[in-house]
Chain A
Amino acid sequence: KAGVTQTPRYLIKTRGQQVTLSCSPISGHRSVSWYQQTPGQGLQFLFEYFSETQRNKGNFPGRFSGRQFSNSRSEMNVSTLELGDSALYLCASSPRLATPYEQYFGPGTRLTVT
C-alpha cells in the first residue's frame, strides 16, 4: 500500500503570494491532519478533515485554510504569505476520526517564503 504523498516537496514563494499544498492519504484512510513544523515553534496542529468536513482547528490565523475532497485528498492554502510561514508542512492520515489508530505522516512540503 502506498504511503501518504505530499506535493510539491519543495516550494519557494514571495511575501504576499498565496500557496496551495496537496496531500493524498493512504488508500482507505478518511481522516487527514495538517501540521506546521518550524525551528522556533516546533510542531503545531493546523487542522483536521474527515469526510470533507473540518473537524478540528488549531490556533492559526484565517490566512490558513484547507479542504478535503470526496476521494479524501486534502489541500491547504496559505494566503498573503509572510516570512514566518516558512516551514515544513506535514500531513498525516488515519483510517477514521478519533480512533486508537496511529497517524501515518507524509514526507512534508518545505515552504520557503522570501
Chain B
Amino acid sequence: AQTVTQSQPEMSVQEAETVTLSCTYDTSESDYYLFWYKQPPSRQMILVIRQEAYKQQNATENRFSVNFQKAAKSFSLKISDSQLGDAAMYFCAYRSRARNQGGKLIFGQGTELSVKP
C-alpha cells in the first residue's frame, strides 16, 4: 500500500520570503501522480500543483514549484515570494495510475503554514 508522509506539522515564513514544505512517499508503482493541495480556513481544498511521475521536469505554477526526486521518493513544494494569502494547511497527495485505483487520493497529514507580515 502507498503511504505519504509530511514530517513538518507546522512551518512559518516571513512575507516575501521563500519556504519549502517536505513530502515523502512510499510506493512500489512506477507510474503515478503527485499533488499539493492547499486548504485555507474556509476548508475548501484547492489544487496548487501537479506532477506526473514519468516527467523528469519539475512542475511550476507561478510562485509554486516542486522538487521531484523519484528515486528518493521525495516531493517538496517551494513557495517563493510568500504572501499572506498563502497561509493555509498544505497537503501532499499521491494518486496511482492503475485503472482499478480510479481517482483515489492518498494524503499526507498536512503542514500548517503561517505567513508573518
Residues of A within 8 A of B (CB): 31, 33, 35, 42-45, 48, 50, 55-56, 58, 88, 90, 92, 94, 97-100, 102-108, 110
* Main secondary structure on A side of the interface with B: strand
A43/B104 contact (C-beta < 8 A), A98-B97, A102-B50, A107-B43 known: no
Give the shortest distance, in Å, between B6 (CB) and chain A (any CB): 10
Closest Cβ of chain A to B88, distance in Å, is 13
Chain B residues in contact with chain A, CB under 8 A? 33, 35, 37, 42-47, 50, 52, 91, 97-110
User: In the complex, A100 Cα to B91 Cα: how many Å?
Assistant: 19
Query: Chain B residues with Cβ under 8 A from A31's Cβ?
Result: 102-103
* CB atoms of A98 and B99 under 8 A apart: yes
Closest B residue to A31 using CB positions: B103
Contact of A100 with B103 in the complex, beta carbons under 8 Å: no
Known: A105-B45, A108-B43. A43 touches B102 (CB 8 A): no
A103 to B107, CA, bound (A): 13
